[in-house]
């Protein structure tokens, strides 16, 4: 009779040892839209973070109830520029970890010591290097930008272009309405176009026109994500949504464990994916080497 009791005691001890703690921190995951990349990122975040995770979507309108809930959180995880802009101004006494912000320095400014996150922008030098592997004949890369949004990135891109022996042709704009005209002004002056992470320059209308312009002039475009390669851009270096969610979860764990958020600097995605569109390459007359195709994580034909 003692044998079953002994076994039961062991099972009970094992169960207690793997049970979650009686209190776990609460993390609020907030996004502006419910789209697949955001869902994948939250999935990765949940798989890593040692906390209860609650999800919300902040839309246009009255979000006072959600914001009140956020004020009781131990940490806030934001996905997207719009949500970060709203939350950072409303909540200043809670740590915020963000992803999916195109130009974070322009959003968070220097007066936000309670905010850190993952800078999803791939360094321009890596992007230009990828382009030159595919199209070594390129000497002039055009870009549309709003200096108030992306001057630091443009400065980095100019330095990268100089290092690689190519020139960066910059057309500056102040509003979204100027983007299409600025793209037209690149005609005859560039051998490729780089999509900079600039919310003034990159709109659905400007992207559609950029693709038409590139096909008409038979020049490649460097995209800012895989979805643009699928739509006709020649190539892109981008990140894996679920993986950067995991990275954000790792960062959140360290903050919840007591590390001061002020000690965190922005980090880059650890995993970068290379996408190419062979159909686009054929249309604009570029022969992509087989060795480059083998290196690609995603190939569209």
- Each residue's pLDDT tens digit, 103-128: 888 788 766 889 999 999 999 999 99
Phi–psi pair at 36, nearest 5 degrees: -55, -50
**Closest Cα partner for 280 from 238, 217, 235, 213?**
235
pLDDT of 183 above 80? yes
Does 176 share its domain with 151?
yes
Does 162 share its domain with 290?
yes
pLDDT tier at 23, thresholds 50, 70, 90? low
Residue 186: domain span: 124-238+273-300
259-to-13, 72, 263 alpha-carbon distances in Å:
32, 19, 8
Does 231 share its domain with 130?
yes
pLDDT of 9 above 60? no
pLDDT digits (tens, 9 = 90+) for 32-48: 899 999 999 999 999 99
- Take residue 83 and report the two structure tokens written for it: 């949500």
3-class SS shares of the chain: helix, strand, coil, % to 5: 45, 20, 35
pLDDT digits (tens, 9 = 90+) for 228-278: 999 999 999 999 999 999 999 999 999 999 999 988 989 999 989 999 999
Does 183 share its domain with 86?
no
Does 34 share its domain with 150?
no
pLDDT of 11 above 80? no
Does 225 share its domain with 86?
no
Pairing of strands 140-145, 167-172: parallel
pLDDT tier at 14, thresholds 50, 70, 90? very low
Mean predicted lDDT score pLDDT of the chain: 89
Structure-derived torsion over alpha carbons of residues 183, 151, 169, 234, reported in degrees to the nearest 10: -60
How confident is the model at residue 19, as a pLDDT? 41
Does 160 share its domain with 133?
yes
Indicate the range of 20-29, 176-185, 254-263, 283-292 predicted with least confidence: 20-29
Does 81 share its domain with 108?
yes
174-208 burial: b if 16+ Cβ within 10 Å, else e = eeeebbbebbeebeeebbbbbbbbbbbbbeeebbe
Residue that the structure tokens 């005691």 belong to: 9
pTM above 0.85, yes or no: no
pLDDT of 8 above 60? no
Does 159 share its domain with 30?
no
How confident is the model at residue 109, as a pLDDT? 72
Domain count, the chain: 2
241-263 burial: b if 16+ Cβ within 10 Å, else e = bbbbbbbbbebbbebbeeeebee
Identify the CATH number of the domain in which residue 174 sits: 3.40.50.2300
pLDDT tier at 12, thresholds 50, 70, 90? very low
The alpha carbon of residue 173 and the mean position of all alpha carbons in its chain are separated, in whole angstroms, by: 23
How confident is the model at residue 61, as a pLDDT? 66
């Amino acid at each position: 009779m003692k044998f079953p009791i002994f076994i039961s005691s062991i099972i009970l001890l094992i169960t207690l040892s793997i049970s979650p703690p009686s209190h776990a921190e609460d993390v609020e995951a907030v996004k502006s839209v419910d789209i697949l990349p955001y869902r994948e990122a939250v999935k990765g975040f949940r798989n890593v973070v040692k906390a209860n995770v609650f999800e919300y979507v902040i839309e246009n309108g009255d979000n006072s109830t959600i914001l009140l809930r956020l004020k009781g959180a131990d940490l806030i995880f934001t996905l997207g520029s719009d949500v970060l802009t709203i939350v950072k101004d409303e909540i200043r006494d809670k740590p915020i970890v963000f992803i999916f912000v195109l130009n974070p320095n322009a959003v968070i400014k220097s007066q936000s010591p309670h905010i850190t996150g993952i800078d999803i922008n791939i360094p321009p030098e890596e992007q230009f290097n990828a382009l030159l592997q595919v199209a070594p004949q390129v000497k002039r890369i055009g870009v549309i930008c709003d200096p108030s949004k992306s001057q630091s990135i443009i400065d980095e891109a100019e330095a990268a272009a100089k290092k690689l022996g190519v020139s960066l042709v910059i057309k500056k704009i102040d509003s979204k309405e100027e983007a299409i005209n600025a793209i037209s002004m690149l005609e005859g002056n560039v051998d490729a176009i780089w999509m900079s992470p600039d919310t003034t320059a990159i709109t659905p209308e400007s992207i559609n026109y950029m693709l038409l312009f590139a096909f008409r002039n038979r020049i490649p475009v460097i995209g800012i994500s895989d979805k643009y390669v699928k739509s006709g851009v020649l190539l892109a270096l981008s990140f894996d949504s679920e993986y950067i969610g995991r990275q954000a979860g790792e960062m959140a764990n360290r903050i919840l464990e007591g590390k001061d958020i002020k000690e965190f600097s922005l980090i880059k995605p650890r995993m970068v994916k290379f996408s190419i569109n062979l159909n686009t390459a054929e249309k604009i007359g570029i022969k992509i080497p087989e060795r480059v195709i083998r290196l690609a994580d995603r190939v569209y034909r």
